[in-house]
Structure 1
Amino acid sequence: MVTLPGTVSRAAGALRERVPPLTALPLPRGVDERWLHSRWPVRELATPPAGSGLKPVLGDAGPPLVGHMPEMMRFGISFALRRYELYGPVSWTGGFGRRIVALSGPEATQIALVNKDKAFSQEGWKFFIEKFFERGLMLLDFGEHHLHRRIMQEAFTRPRLAGYVGEMGPALRDGVAVWGGGRPRLYWALKQLTLDVATRVFMGMPSGADAARINRAFVSSVRAGTALVRVPVPGGRWSAGLHGRKVLERYFAETLPAKRNSDGDDLFSALCHATTEDGDRFSDTDIVNHMIFLMMAAHDTTTITAAAMAYYLAKYPQWQERAREESLALGDDVLDIAAVEKLETLDLVMKEALRLVAPVPSLARKTVKDTEVLGHYIPAGTLVGVSPTVNHFAPECWTDPFAFDPERFAEPRREDKAHRMAWMPFGGGAHKCIGLHFGSLEVKLLMHELLRAYRWSVPESYTARWDYVSLPVPADGLPVRLTPR
């Protein structure tokens, strides 16, 4: 047992008065309130090698087996910032029966994501999602990742993106139009719409019973990754995820021959025909694995981003009106890629929403050899979580970081340039999201259609509560008053 320094970080201390206290939030069912008040023994992760001059990583395990995972899933950014305040940029916590090192703040995350000494591998993701997203691009390492990324890039060229936008525009307009007025749970409406668009644009698959079955399989697979019970107990999330994976494998394998022989505009067809200048192509197995992963990565992050934007535009109606004026000025035609790129206000709002609610709040890694981060010793085989969310609130990078202020991304302020890792909703380094431009275009196009069709609002007293059980979603589904224009 060790003694924790009184002040671990000036930047972390500056957060003290701004981080919402965990005790101010309602506890999820099954979480004992005593956990929030417990003081767990502070211990070293591992003893640094003699003579290395390195410091140990400090942390605490929390409750047996589950560790701090229930608190992390429930309280999200508040929990991450409290840990940063307590331990600084390098610490460890207990979870899933293991010790997990947390790297927070721009400097610590840059070391892991730039990965100059190749000490951090994508093996960390395998612990959480390999059973459901086997050999997706995010799970590959080093040379193999580079090769697969080069091939996949052929599916995300600008001509391809222009074609996807052309497919998405009418689908999004039609989907938004059927909502009508009232008080919908907007998150769930957005999720269904983005799933429908994903099956159409990614797979060339029309809406219907098959699309609904595929969508359910994706949802089950995504939720399974953070299951606390990680065995296939009937009725459990892990079991549902394994079943969902089988459904997806069967569908893509059965459909693949027809896609190989066609020249469609959907992403599935693009991956089937993607070929580098050196003649490298994906095998059938590669395509199945990448399609399952890309569908997950696309629709979930898109839904979360759109929901966060809708929430902040409801809370700050002056920004909603500013964005609407810009959209209406483009006329009634469905937008092409060049027109979407002109939506500057939505671009600012989207970046600020991504800062405040990062769709992927933690990036998993695993050390393949002994290494050090900011003078702290991390042994080989350590599970590591890199935290974009803490960076997004770092006071050394952002002015009044808890405020909604899209202008921080406009010239000449550009606070996102304060550090290479100040703003990183798409990750960073060699594994930066390959679909970031696709996702940004879809979100802006979706919000453009929403602005054209409706005004929406929430009560002044309403504050969204984000549930981090898998990826951040509004716990109440984001109820809004939706009024047709």
Structure 2
Amino acid sequence: MTATRIPPHIPPQEKVRFGLTYLRKAVNCVPLTWPRAMYEEDVYVPPIPGLVHVMEPEAVARVLSGGDGAFGQAELLRRVLRPIWRKGIAVAQDEDWRWQRRAVAPAFTPAASAQVVPHANAASARIVSNWSGEPATRELFGPLGDTAAHVVIDALLDGIGDEEARDIILRHGASLTHDLRRLNPADMMHLPEWMRALTGRTGREAASQLRAALMPLMEDRLTHPRSAGSLPGLLARAADSESGRKLDAERAGDLLTGSMAAGRETTALALSWTLWLLALFPDDQERLRDEILRVAGDAPLEARHVEALDGVRAAIMESMRLYPPAPAHLRDCLRDTELCGVRIRKGTLVTIPLYAVHRHRKLWEEPDAFRPERFAGMAITDKALRGRYTPFGGGPRICLGMHFAMAEMVTVTANLLRAFRFDEVPGFEPGFAVGAGFYPKDGLKVTVTPL
């Protein structure tokens, strides 16, 4: 019997020592601070005051749902996101968050999100053109970041005819996401917010430049949407179903700037890890290619094709299990409570360490193996995955763009697998740089052969 091949990963740490080395690891690659207990136990309380890690699925679901007022979005997370989102939905609280969520939710339903497919086709065509020709070793993350950015630009702005404006937006978006890849030590040490600029990049300047480039286009699309059913058209009519309050240009700008940052990085990471894993496992890659050709042939992908590509969706879900784009969810404990018999005091930072939960020895068979079939026939919101698989979060603050992202990723992956064969580069093994996302330290290299 052939042994299962295990992709490169960060194993549970046998010895974790606390001090400056620990802080450096936490900033540069946070799973290097996670002991074996986090992959085997329900709750882990490290010898650090005010911190608890939660891995048990029911407890995870309770934390993400708010636990009847016991848990709320972490102030640490808001500090990181505020330069990008300003007063937008990702950082808004209480009623300010609720009205924004109610207003924009209709623009991101599964049906509305299906509109991303033609935009993802167009973005895929760009990279197919760039990679045509002879077989070559290529790095995935950079080009797929641009691909994801093109999709967000075209979907949320209903296209940009001005290529110069597009290039400016791409450049500022790349600068912003680069600023935020490494955790800021000031946040890790709970230093005053004004000290963030002294200890690392905050993203504030890059976010302002990106916003300045986006706002004229956004205001034009909100005033003159090309189609009532397009995302700009839906946002132009977006209003709170209870109060009637409309989404103004400022909040729309917050949404677009934040979506550019979040949509570019997380989607590019998931796409890159997926294609790299498929290069390591050519039999799985070939099965997916057969599925794509059976479902769509060589026709342009449509929403109905994307819905039918169960194998492609399962491979992406398995990729996000092994290498979650966001390494952890963060919540503040708002009142004394209990999880799995462990007392959690008010003010505690509660983390859901996705990399550990997604590889937990109690929750997954062969947790470090690449087995896309474990997600066969499942949607990202399948009840069987509740609390043990949460790449998009959970509860009322679950990622608004989840369906948009899944449709986009299935479309791009299918288009690229139809156009190319991906093979591993002999001797290449990625390093890990895990901060605000689960990054490949020196990129992800594969050999790309046009078909």
TM-score bracket relative to the smaller structure: 0.7 to 0.9
Instruction: Specify the code of the residue in structure 1 equivalent to 2:59.
Output: A
* Counterpart position of 1:169: 121
Displacement of 1:417:
5.7
**2:224 maps to 1:262:** yes
Contact 2:12 2:39 in 1 (8 A): no
Residue 3 of structure 2 corresponds to none
Q: Which residue of 2 aligns with 1:274?
A: 238
Distance (Å, rounded) in 2 between the aligned partners of 1:423 and 1:86: 16
> Residues 331 and 19 of structure 1: is their aligned pair in 2 closer, same or farther, counting only changes over 3 Å?
closer
Distance in 2 between residues matched to 1:338 and 1:466, nearest whole Å: 36
Contact 2:140–2:272 (CA under 8 A) maintained in structure 1: yes
Structure 1, unmatched stretches of 5+, are 1-17, 24-36, 40-61
How far apart are the structure 2 equivalents of 1:449 and 1:395?
A: 35
One-letter code of the match for 1:168? A
For the structure 1 residues 270 and 159, does the alpha-carbon distance in structure 2 shift closer, same or farther, using more than 3 Å as the test? same
Q: CA–CA distance in 1 between the matches of 2:447 and 2:198? A: 40
Tell me the equivalent position of 1:227. 184
Which whole-Å CA distance do the structure 1 matches of 2:112 and 2:273 have between them? 27
Question: CA shift at 1:228, angstroms?
Answer: 2.2
Compute the displacement of 1:245 (Å).
Answer: 1.8
8 Å contact kept, 1:90–1:108: no
Aligned counterpart for 1:89 among listed residues 6, 30, 43: 43
Q: CA deviation at 1:385?
A: 2.1
Q: What is the deviation of 1:391? A: 1.7
Is 2:313 aligned against 1:313? no
Q: C-alpha distance in 2, partners of 1:432/1:285?
A: 23
1:9 — aligned with what?
Answer: none
TM superposition shift of 1:122: 1.5
Contact 1:312-1:353 at 8 Å conserved across structures: yes
Is the CA contact 2:139–2:445 (under 8 Å) kept in the aligned structure 1? Answer: yes
- In the alignment, structure 1 residue 120 sits paired with structure 2 residue 75: no
Work out whether 1:343 is the aligned partner of 2:305.
Answer: no
When residues 245 and 268 of structure 1 are mapped into structure 2, their CA distance, relative to the original with a 3 A threshold, is farther
- When Rg is computed on C-alpha atoms for both structures, the one with the higher figure is 1
Residue 189, structure 1, aligned to residue 143, structure 2: yes
Query: How far 1:167 moved relative to its partner?
Result: 2.7
Deviation at 1:470, TM superposition (A): 2.5
Decide whether the 8 Å contact of 2:52 with 2:350 is kept in 1. Answer: yes
Count of matched residue pairs: 423
Query: Does 2:67 align with 1:110?
Result: no
Offset, 1:298 = 1.6
Aligned pairs (5 A) from 1:286-365: 286-329=251-294, 330-365=296-331
Distance of aligned partners of 1:411 and 1:174 in 2 relative to their CA distance in 1, 3 Å threshold: closer
Q: Is the 8 A contact 1:454 1:483 kept in 2?
A: yes
Higher relative contact order (CA 8 A, sep 6+): 2
Identity of aligned residues (%): 26
Equivalences for residues 13-28 of structure 1 within 5 A: 20=11
Aligned position for 2:191: none
Deviation at 1:261, TM superposition (A): 1.7
Gaps of 5+ in 2: 1-8, 187-194
For 1:221-246, what per-residue CA distance to the aligned partner results, in whole angstroms no more than 9, with x for missing partners? 34445222553249x522xx111121
1:107-150 deviations in Å (ceiling 9; x for gaps) = 43223112232121124321322233223323233443332222
| Alpha-carbon shift at residue 407 of structure 1 (Å) | 1.2
Residue 251 (structure 1) aligns with: 213
Distance change >3 Å, CA 101–CA 207, structure 1 → 2? farther
Compute the displacement of 1:400 (Å).
1.0
Q: Is the 8 A contact 1:217 1:245 kept in 2?
A: yes
283 and 381 in structure 1: CA distance in 2 versus 1, 3 angstrom threshold: farther
TM norm structure 1? 0.79
Alignment partner of 1:475 is 2:429: no
Counterpart secondary structure, 1:117: coil
Q: Say yes or no: does 1:212 pair with 2:167.
A: yes
Whole-angstrom CA distance in 2 between matches of 1:244 and 1:406: 37
- Tell me how far 1:89 sits from its aligned partner: 1.3
- 2:89 paired with 1:137: yes
Distance 1:218 1:372, change over 3 A: farther
Residue pair 2:428, 2:445 contacting (<8 A) in 1 also: no
Partner of 1:444 in structure 2?
Answer: 410
Write out per-residue CA displacement over residues 75-99 of structure 1, whole angstroms, 9 at most, x where no aligned residue: 44454353615986132465xxx85
